[in-house]
Amino acid sequence: MSIFTGAAVAIVTPFNEDGSVNFDKFAEHIEFQIANGTDAIVVCGTTGEASTLTHEEHLEVIDFCVKKVNHRIPVIAGTGSNCTETAVYLSTEAEKSGVDGLLLVTPYYNKATQKGLKEHFTIIANSVKIPVILYNIPGRTGVTLQPQTVVDLCREVPNIVGVKDATGNMGMIVKLMSIAGDDVDLYSGNDDQILPLLALGGKGVISVLSNIAPRETHDICQKFFDGDIAGSRELQYRSIDLIDALFCEVNPIPVKKAMNIMGMQAGPMRRPLTEMEPQNAERLEKAMKAYGIL
């Protein structure tokens, strides 16, 4: 059984002005998501600025999220690393906190071979008993999980169940699904490709857009599942300008800006990420107004 179907939010980590984690606002964000139909929460991923959290903060944020959600929807923790042993440590600790699954990004910078990737993910998955979703995002990591590698891992390692695909490479995704059978749960990692991946047999999306439009993102998926393809397509089309604005600077700079514009107090970025350029912030606010969020 899939960890979730539908729209999972890749939730931001709100910070106070001094850079510390703002747990009060984090709790509000979690409640906002659940109240508006989000199907799962992915905590400490790219959008959650996990790369600039200390290990202690990383695990504290995961633990807080699990306790706050309290089994209402699945919680999936980002625990990947470019160091296999570090990923094992974060994954086993997250499992102790009670997460429902893990999201493991490909090891960045090292540029591992496909053999190395298979060994890396197998070791991590074998260290826990909970389900694992692989995360293929070569634009950030410099390495690509090839379709056959994904399928092999899902078939050979019992608790590796699927992949979040943020390659943007539709040909590669078609190839993956053509050889996957029922062995790979596919999730879109790009908000502008939710419907296309659902049409290829995807289970849903792990979404940045959901931070500010959770109900609408959920509905793109739900309408598709309900057979209302035209309705799903209309919502996907309607969201494109806003999605483009949310990615006009590197994620999560724009989505945190959008949340701050909405009064949700996501706080500042951690360096080396910086505040949004004024002209891009103006573009974002315009797109939000056109979408009806403001």
Positions marked catalytic: 135, 164
CA 79 – CA 264 distance, rounded (Å):
26
Amino acid (1-letter code) at residue 183: D
Q: Which residue has the tokens 């991590």?
A: 124
CA distances from 272 to 12, 41, 50, 253, 293 (A): 16, 25, 13, 11, 29
Q: Render the burial of 156-194: b for 16+ CB within 10 Å, e for the rest.
A: ebeebbbbbbbbeeeebbeebbeebeebbbbbbbbbbbb
Peptide bond into 268 cis (omega under 30): no
DSSP 210: G
> Mind spelling out the 3-state secondary structure of 71-88?
CCCCEEEECCCCCHHHHH
For the chain, the maximum distance between any two Cα atoms, rounded to a whole number of angstroms, is 49
CA 82 – CA 239 distance, rounded (Å):
33
